[in-house]
Amino acid sequence: MEAADSRNSVPPGRARRFFAFVWSVVGLAALLCVRPLLDLPAELPRLPVAFWVMAALAVGCDARPFVPPGHRQTSAVFPSTCFTFAILLGWGFGPAVLVQAAAVVVSGWRMGYAPWRTAFNAAQYAAALGAAYVVTWLGPGSVYDGARLRATDVLAVAGATAAWFAVNYALVSAAVRLRFGERWWPGLRQGLGFELLSTGSLLLLAPVLVAAARVSAALIPLVLVPLFAVYRMARLSVEQQQLASLDPLTGLPNRKALLAEVGEQVHLHAERAARGEPGARLALLLIDLDRFKNVNDALGHAVGDRLLVEVSARLTGVGGEGMVARLGGDEFGIVVTGLADVDEAREIAGRVVRALAEPVSLDGLPLDVGGSIGVALYPEHGEDFATLMRHADVAMYDAKHRNDTVAVYAAESDHNSAERLALLADLRRVLEAGRPADDPPPGAGLAGADVPGDGALVATGGGARGGDGAELPADGVVLAAGAGRWRLRRRRQRPEPPHTDELINRIATAADPIRRRAVAAPGAGGDHGEVPRRRAGGGRPGGRGGAVARRPGQPADGAADHGGRATDRADGGVADGDPTRRGSAGGGPDTDPVAGAGEITMYYQPQVAIATGEVVGVEALLRWRHPRRGMVDPEELIRVAEQSAVMRLLTRRVVDDVVEQLARWSAVGMELPAALNVSVRDLHTGEIADQIADRLARHGVPPQRLQLEITEGALMADPRRVLATITRLHRIGVGISLDDFGTGYSSLQHLRRLPLSEVKVDRSFVLGMAEDADDAAIVKSTIELAKALGLRVVAEGVEDERTWRMLHAAGCDAAQGWFYARPMPAEELLGWLARYRPVRPTPSPDAEIPRRHAR
């Protein structure tokens, strides 16, 4: 019953319609009661003692209504309802209205109601009593006239009870609707159960009270006992609702209450936006305390609880009219309504940050807490609680990751979107697809290939060109393997050799497990993983324009032309742009058992010794051609995989494929080493060391042929466990390279403590060193530092001749990038090596490192 609401003001703009309704109800009730009240003076002397006892109890009990605990008095229980409804059943409409009006005036005075509110409450009860009286009057007449109680009397009482409740609740609902606008329904819907329990119980006690009055007026006061039971039930019901919606420690609303508030406010702001009113946005702020765990661990949970209470008080102070809720642990949420744009949300978040920045003094000890805040805005970032909450959570963790205090949701920071979850499912499918049962051991497929007897790879035929564009001699060129290097030497041409491209194709098919797998069983993926990559892996770096400097004679797309066959671009797209070719390499969706997930393969990018131009190794790079998305960006792929157990499958697959590929290359006379990347998860478990040792032994590959690239971020995640894993790999004989040096948590102690053999200068410095003196100085200093420690230096992202010459002048050992070759599949790498011709840099004035200007 809305009569207990102590808020006497009406929101601006609603007063006219609201008071028109109030005075209309008052006028209608006056018309309804005027005749019974005029006849009442003649009836009062004939009323029995039982009536006066009930009237006294009604007015006396309403002088102190039963108000359950809570911040508002909207759930008060008025016992007069029981007595006035009993008077209606026993002595008619006039006496009931008189007693009810007296009780309403007394309760209104005690609770501080405005006169208009007291008048409306009296009118609403009069209308409810009138509806109940009409039902009894349409029935058998007077229910309790001293005669025997009949079944029709029971039906009449039930109908009168329902009519009283329906009219009273309808009038209250209409008043709240006009008073508060769109906020009325959620509150009334939530309070309906309480009203049915409390008010319904009082109404159903009325027939019992009348029956007791027929026996003796002395029995009437005994009804106070069941009335007290009704009060207790109402109190317990409200307390349970409060406990379900309040945090017991801080007294703030909890997640359930926040959900209801956001749902209600979303509805309200949607209507504002539809009407074109300002302030149609709301913001959900998610706050996570930064150093709360330290307080709990050092000072105990009792102090931590006191700290949470203090923080909740501060948040309530800066939250304004918005709801502040504790979501659990050290997480809080604030709903801010009526916003015009995101800047207002940032301003409120800034106030929260300033409030939390002040130390909290507990027992004389100042505690610095601070917090990270994620902001999600309606409707830009979501239109329901679940979406807004998830996006605010993403923004909050983004703020923590960037060591910032406030972050607004951005889609690029959401690493767990539905699209990425689908991508992760597809990745698991392609990794869990079993290898073909007839997968031959290394070298088994070479029997039919026309390979020179000493295992050297021969490329014949005119028109072949090296990496610098120079045409190779018409007679055969043999690529002979040395100690980690390749050299060109002439060999007597075999009589009637097969066509060059056919020979290369046959050797590549036998030597490349991915190609052979696609030919033998299209689309059948392996059960292992690929090289974890955190960047584009040698593709064209973004943001530096579409033009790429090329070596003289290099094809326009950076790929060697194998007999006029179009090759894939670096971004994984098909050269001819045919969308039907963007599926898995083994065939279309109709023929590939895992076509829905696509195919994972390995690309290899050559690493070239700058001083001699000789190919000294390759880096294995991850490529995933998805049937719907085309070539998936390696950075996105690794971000998705590293968050789940799929990373373990991916790493297992890549180690198997790369080691097997090294074995197959050895079978055809190639002794190039290969480098592959590993993730943080792999280094933490240490399982990768056992796996690599097992695969190397199984395929008979020397450990020196394999090199693992790690990043500084992986070292910082858990230095002790990572160092233990790296040390085991070093003892096996596997080389360790520090990748992306200078971009992460750079520390010279990494170069001193770790068993490194190589340092890779990140492409972000190499790409700009020809124009930026600062980048050039960083590259040169890194090279000098690594040389002083006896480490080999490899530069990534070499794309033009000037950078190549500058690296040579700086003393860099090796380089990789589009200046030499793009990443390519294993079979294309064989063809490229057959055509490649070493080029040595010569002194040039533009090779000088630009001088850095003093600041």
* Residues acting as catalytic residues: 796
- Report which of 436, 457, 406, 577 is spatially closest to residue 513, judged by C-alpha positions: 436
Q: 115 Cβ partners below 8 Å, 6+ apart? A: none
Distance, in Å, from the CA atom of 821 to the CA atom of 351, rounded to the nearest integer, reads: 54
CA distance 642 to 635: 11
HSE value, Cβ hemisphere, 13 Å, CA-based, for 748:
6
Q: How far apart are the first and last CA of the chain?
A: 75
* Strand, coil or helix: 820: coil
CA pair distance 225, 215, nearest whole angstrom:
18
Cβ atoms of residues 744 and 712 within 8 Å:
yes
DSSP 77: B
CA 237 to chain centre: 37
Helix H or strand E encompassing 421: helix 418-432
H-type helices in 619-686, by residue range? 634-642, 646-667, 680-685
Closest CA to 677 of 723, 623, 632, 622: 622
Q: What is the CA radius of gyration of the chain?
A: 41
By the 8 A CB rule, do 252 and 82 touch?
Answer: no
Please state, as a whole number, how many other Cβ atoms lie within 10 Å of the Cβ of residue 628: 11
Enter the DSSP assignment of 562: B
Is residue 410 within 8 Å of residue 293, measured between CB atoms?
no
Helix (H, G, I), strand (E, B) or coil at 279: coil
Rounded-to-integer distance, Cα 181 and Cα 175, Å: 10
Interatomic CA distance for residues 589 and 519, integer angstroms: 16
HSE-CB for 322 with a 13 A CA cutoff: 24
Element (H, E) at 493: none
